[in-house]
């Protein structure tokens, strides 16, 4: 018997020794394969890309995971208590591993053959989420235990808790407690009630099973379990428990709601950040602050929408044959689907998709009335409605024409507002930056700038008479016309640009030579392929985007400098470190010295005298010419140029003050004609006016000050020559100093003034 016991002891000793040796080698093998826990010192959470306006309003968010990391000291203690009660009640006592829990799980496996959930501490979950895969193997579990022990030795408990609370998956793409609070309640952590804290703390066990959105009953059951555990651990009182456990679920899926709508600009930013950083753009928590002004962006959106609706209403109502069963459940732009319930003599009652009843007054329906004079609406019709600024509802339709609008700061090129169409989700094509449209008469200032540089003056006369142009390679001769179909004889350059006379531009280009105008266009930022090398260039037959046209007119607004449009002001890391700061080249009209000009200033492309003359001419377009509609703003410092292309396929207005330059465009994507009389002054100018009414509010007018090299002379508008002060038909005109006329008009013309009238000095106001 003694011999048997001896051998038995030796046998078990051998087994224990073998197990120890095996365990030693296994430990060393696993230890050699363990990831470095020092990586937890610099955790890079996957945080979405956030895009903001210059005034810190959220524009858009891009990224699969919703997460907002939060420091542990900013987490309410009761929320921490809720997670401890739910996930690991001995977190602050154990060394990283709950050996009792592991033993219970092991016994459960031995007795039933089934793995028991539990036994994992918060530290072990941190290990699994940050350093290991989620595969369920015994090897991974051993690594998890070993790493947890090492982590507890290296990091304080609060750091481990912070990692856990920021990383844990909470359902509905929310990672971490701050994201969960926003996704389910639209609240910050400090705003959560006890019941809401317990609901969030109950999610990690099974985010899909205990989710208050998808399974409210199970979620409440889990929440109440967490509350009960908090009561048992003395984190809350009996009264707290009773009050919170009786609360209904207040969870409601919250989307990240942009504070302003700038989706076309947001997509430009997204593409640029992805170009710079690849997939990292969506996970690194970059905060991109754009140059967009929130108020101006909202105004631009509304102005474009109103302008397109106004155009659409001018061209009649497109009767819908849809009935309630065919309604398309979509909101498009500012239009909502609605169903007609009742039609009265002076109004109609309709139901929105959420069952809200609205009244549409006759005043907002009558635009759609045809020859019959009766309402086009019938009970059961599915229509489109929109809410007007006075909160009344109006019958509307989805505009068929499209539009674009862009506003720049002419001093540095910052994009202040940009919209590329009526509805981004309906069509993501950005007409402000991607369209290639003929600029029409909006290109004429390039022609006139060239003319002034070649020695022409605002008083130079060009014959507005029929012209026939034989284009080689084309079957028919070109017989250009003015928009009015009339000819006006000898016409000054000032009158020609003011009234947008086509024939004058063509004759002027022909006299100067096309190559000179092309060279000017290249200076203004046009690419060679955008510029036709024919006389049609005088009518803007090339192509440009609205953003490019705004850049052209910024040169006139800023004193003669070519700025470069930009839209990203700065990029910050998730920690707030500035990793990119824009440093645009700025216009500097007061810079004279070589030292100053070598600094970060935009290149001057036209001289101060030429810029002054062009401003004088373009102000006349608003005060006396094709853009007089803008006079409704009551300002003398508005300048710009309308643009209307052949068959009214494009309608433009490019206008500015010294502080803001903006371009408005209206047209069809398929280049269909807009219709008779749909000129730039009719179809596009209203958009610009509506925007500028807000943009220029409280902005003082800017006088047009004469620079060195400009002089005034009293001339006869009939001849462009000097005339006597007594000539009542005479006008003041501006000239470059070396191009002032030196001869006088005929004595007969000078004597046309009534010698019996008192000798009055002629007015100097050109506008």
Distance (Å, whole) CA 407 – CA 415 = 6
Tokens (6 digits) for 578: 């500035």
Distance (Å, whole) CA 476 – CA 409 = 45
Distance (Å, whole) CA 8 – CA 15 = 11
Tokens (6 digits) for 690: 């509506």
List the catalytic residue out of 86, 305, 407, 441. 441
Distance (Å, whole) CA 355 – CA 378 = 18
654 has which bridge partners? 641, 663
List the catalytic residue out of 53, 87, 407, 536. 87
148 Cβ contact list (under 8 Å, min separation 6): 96, 97, 121, 123, 124, 126, 127
Distance (Å, whole) CA 366 – CA 627 = 29
268 Cβ contact list (under 8 Å, min separation 6): 418, 430, 433, 567
H-type helices in 422-476, by residue range?
Answer: 444-453
Distance (Å, whole) CA 147 – CA 132 = 10
With H, G, I as helix, E, B as strand and everything else as coil, classify residue 404.
strand
Terminal alpha carbon distance of the chain: 127
The angle formed by the CA atoms of residues 398, 400 and 405, to the nearest 5 degrees, is 95
Tokens (6 digits) for 400: 């068929």
Among this protein's residues, is 87 annotated catalytic? yes
Picking from 231, 401, 223, the residue whose alpha carbon sits closest to that of residue 310 is 401
Picking from 607, 601, 52, the residue whose alpha carbon sits closest to that of residue 291 is 52
399 has which bridge partners? none
Q: Which helix (H) or strand (E) element contains residue 62?
A: strand 58-62
Distance (Å, whole) CA 468 – CA 507 = 11
Distance (Å, whole) CA 243 – CA 239 = 6
Q: Is 109 in contact with 175 (CB distance < 8 Å)? A: no
State the maximum Cα–Cα separation within the chain, in Å, rounded to a whole number: 155
Among this protein's residues, is 196 annotated catalytic? no
Residues carrying an active site annotation: 87, 441
């Amino acid at each position: 018997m003694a011999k048997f016991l001896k051998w038995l002891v030796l046998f078990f000793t051998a087994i224990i020794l073998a197990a120890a040796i095996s365990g030693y080698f296994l430990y060393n093998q696993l230890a050699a394969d363990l990831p470095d826990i020092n990586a937890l010192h610099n955790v890079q959470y996957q945080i979405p890309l956030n895009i903001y306006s210059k005034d810190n309003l959220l524009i858009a968010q891009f990224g699969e995971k919703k997460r907002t990391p939060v420091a542990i000291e900013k987490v309410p203690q009761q929320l921490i208590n809720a997670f401890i009660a739910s996930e690991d009640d001995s977190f602050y006592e154990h060394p990283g591993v709950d050996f009792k829990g592991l033993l219970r799980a092991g016994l459960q496996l031995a007795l039933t053959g089934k793995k028991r959930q539990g036994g994992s501490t918060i530290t072990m979950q941190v290990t699994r989420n940050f350093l290991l895969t989620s595969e369920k193997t015994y090897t991974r579990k051993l690594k998890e235990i070993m790493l947890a022990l090492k982590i507890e030795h290296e990091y304080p408990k609060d750091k481990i808790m912070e990692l856990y609370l920021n990383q844990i998956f909470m359902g509905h793409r929310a990672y971490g407690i701050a994201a969960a609070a926003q996704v389910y309640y639209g609240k910050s952590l400090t705003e959560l009630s006890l019941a809401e804290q317990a609901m969030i703390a109950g999610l990690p066990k099974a985010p899909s099973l205990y989710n208050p959105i998808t399974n409210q009953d199970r979620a409440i059951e889990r929440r109440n379990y967490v509350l009960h555990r908090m009561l048992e651990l003395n984190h809350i009182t009996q009264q707290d428990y009773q009050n919170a456990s009786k609360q209904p679920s207040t969870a409601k899926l919250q989307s990240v709601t942009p504070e302003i709508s700038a989706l076309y600009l947001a997509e430009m930013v997204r593409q640029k950040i992805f170009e710079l950083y690849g997939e990292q753009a969506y996970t690194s928590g970059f905060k991109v602050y754009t140059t967009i002004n929130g108020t101006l962006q909202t105004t631009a959106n509304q102005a474009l929408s109103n302008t397109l609706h106004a155009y659409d209403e001018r061209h009649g109502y497109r009767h819908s044959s849809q009935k309630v069963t065919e309604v398309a459940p979509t909101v498009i732009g500012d239009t909502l689907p609605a169903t007609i319930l009742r039609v009265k003599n002076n109004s109609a009652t309709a139901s929105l998709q959420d069952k809200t009843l609205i009244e549409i007054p006759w005043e907002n329906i009558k635009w759609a009335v045809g020859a019959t004079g009766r309402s086009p609406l019938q009970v059961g019709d599915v229509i489109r409605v929109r809410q007007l600024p006075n909160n009344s509802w109006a019958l509307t339709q989805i505009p068929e024409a499209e539009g674009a609008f862009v506003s720049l700061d002419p001093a540095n090129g910052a994009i202040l507002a940009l919209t590329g169409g009526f509805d981004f989700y309906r069509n993501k094509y950005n007409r402000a930056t991607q369209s290639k449209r003929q600029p029409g008469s909006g290109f004429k200032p390039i022609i006139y700038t060239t003319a002034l540089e070649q020695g022409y003056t605002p008083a130079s006369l060009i014959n507005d008479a029929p012209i026939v142009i034989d284009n080689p390679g084309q079957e028919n001769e070109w017989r250009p016309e003015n928009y009015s179909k009339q000819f006006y004889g000898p016409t000054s350059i000032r009158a020609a640009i003011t009234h947008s006379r086509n024939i004058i531009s063509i004759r002027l280009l022909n006299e100067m030579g096309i190559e000179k105008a092309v060279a000017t266009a290249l200076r203004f930022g046009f690419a060679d392929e955008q510029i036709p090398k024919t006389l049609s260039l005088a009518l803007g037959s090339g192509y440009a985007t609205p953003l490019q046209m705004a850049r052209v007119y910024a040169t006139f607004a800023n004193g003669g400098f070519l700025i470069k449009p930009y839209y990203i002001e700065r990029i910050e890391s998730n920690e707030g470190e500035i990793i990119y700061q824009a440093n645009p080249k700025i216009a500097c009209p007061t810079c004279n010295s070589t030292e100053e000009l070598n600094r970060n200033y935009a290149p001057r492309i036209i001289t101060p005298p030429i810029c002054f003359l062009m401003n004088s001419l373009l102000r006349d377009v608003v005060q006396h010419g094709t853009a007089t509609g803008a006079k409704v703003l009551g300002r003398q410092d508005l300048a710009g140029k309308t643009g209307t292309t052949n068959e009214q396929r494009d309608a433009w207005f490019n206008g500015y003050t010294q502080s803001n330059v903006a371009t408005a465009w209206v047209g069809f994507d398929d280049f269909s004609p807009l219709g008779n009389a749909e000129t730039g002054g009719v179809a596009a100018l209203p958009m610009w006016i509506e925007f500028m009414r807000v943009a220029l509010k409280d902005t003082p007018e800017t006088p047009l000050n004469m620079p060195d090299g400009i002089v005034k002379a009293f001339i006869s508008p009939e001849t462009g020559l000097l005339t006597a002060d007594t000539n009542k038909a005479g006008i003041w005109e501006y000239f470059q100093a070396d191009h002032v006329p030196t001869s006088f008009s005929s004595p007969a013309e000078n004597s046309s003034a009534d010698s019996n009238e008192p000798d009055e000095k002629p007015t100097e106001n050109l506008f």
